[in-house]
Amino acid sequence: MIEVNIKFQVDGVEVLPTDVQDEYLAEMLEYTGEQIRQQVHAKLDAVRCPEHGSAPRVTVTAQYATDVDQMELGYHVDSCCQQLLLRAVQALNNK
């Protein structure tokens, strides 16, 4: 199974969902994190480097802005080589 890390930012401040005081927001962040994790796993669990046999590692940054009630996601993929990086990005971009 691949490694997926999710970092949350609310209004530019990095937070853990368990530390958010607003119950609705905390629940939304936890739910969103689980959905992101499932989607990344569904797309990348089978992706391996044919040369090295390793899997990509993904860090997702979820930035939530409370003033516009909007979340932006950024993906960072670590890989052993360029070939695995290209495979992982292609798999993430496929629906």
29 CB neighbour count, 10 Å cutoff: 23
pLDDT (tens, 9 = 90+) of the chain, 95 residues, equals 799 999 999 999 999 999 999 999 999 999 999 999 999 999 999 999 999 999 999 999 999 999 999 999 999 999 999 999 999 999 999 87
**Tokens describing residue 44:** 């990348």
Listed by start position, the domains of the chain span 3-93
- DSSP reduced 3-state for 68: coil
Which pLDDT belongs to residue 1? 79
Helices (H), the chain: 23-44, 82-93
What is the C-alpha to C-alpha distance for residues 95 and 21, in angstroms, rounded to an integer?
A: 34
What is the C-alpha to C-alpha distance for residues 26 and 70, in angstroms, rounded to an integer?
A: 15
